[in-house]
Amino acid sequence: MLTEPEADAGREPGAPVDAPASEPGDETGWCAWVVGDCWLWCRRTDTAVTWLGPVISWGTHAPLYACEECIRRLEEQVRTSPARQDTACWLWCGRDDVPLFPLAEVEHQGGTTLFHACEECIAQVKQMVLARAMDKDTAKR
C-alpha cells in the first residue's frame, strides 16, 4: 500500500499500484490505480491516480487521471448547490473574477453537473492534451 510519495519512485508511469488506504469500492466506478500524473488541482507527478475519462481537444484526446485527494475535491464541487457551480473556475486558478465556460459534463451518483473553467485554464488543458498526443506520436516512430 502507498504511504509515502517515494513509494512510487522508479515505477513506470501507468504501472499498477496498490490503491490508497481509502480505496473506494466498485460502486464508485473508479478504475485501477496506477502511477502517473494528476491532471487536476495538485498536479502531482508519479503518484497514485485513477482514470476518470478522456479529455478531447483539437481533434485529439488524452486520458484524464486524478489522485484521490483531487477526486474528493471534484466530488465536493459536484455536490455543491447548482447556483454556486458556475461562479468560480473549477480548475487550477479557482478565480471568480473571470468569465467562465462550460468545459465538461460531470456525472456523480446518478446526477450530472457542468464543469466550468476560465479561458486560461482551458488553454492549459488543451496544451496538456496536445503534449500527450505529441508524445504518443513520437513513441510510434
What is the reported pLDDT for 138? 75
- pLDDT, tens digit, 9 for 90 and up, residues 82-137: 666 678 888 888 898 999 988 877 776 676 778 889 999 999 988 888 888 887 76
According to the model, what pLDDT value does residue 29 have? Answer: 56
CA separation for the pair 26, 29 (Å, rounded)? 6
CA dihedral (34, 121, 107, 131) in degrees, to 10, reads -40
- 15-42 pLDDT per residue, tens: 444 444 334 444 455 678 999 999 988 9
Lowest mean pLDDT among 41-45, 54-58, 107-111: 107-111
pLDDT (0 to 100) of residue 103: 80
Average pLDDT over residues 56-72: 85
What average pLDDT does the segment 53-61 reach? 78
Residue 20: all three cell numbers together:
490508497
Give the pLDDT score at 18. Answer: 44
- The predicted pLDDT at position 84 comes to 63
Q: pTM (2 decimals)?
A: 0.65
Q: Is the confidence at residue 69, as pLDDT, over 90?
A: yes
Confidence at 7, pLDDT banded by 50, 70, 90: very low
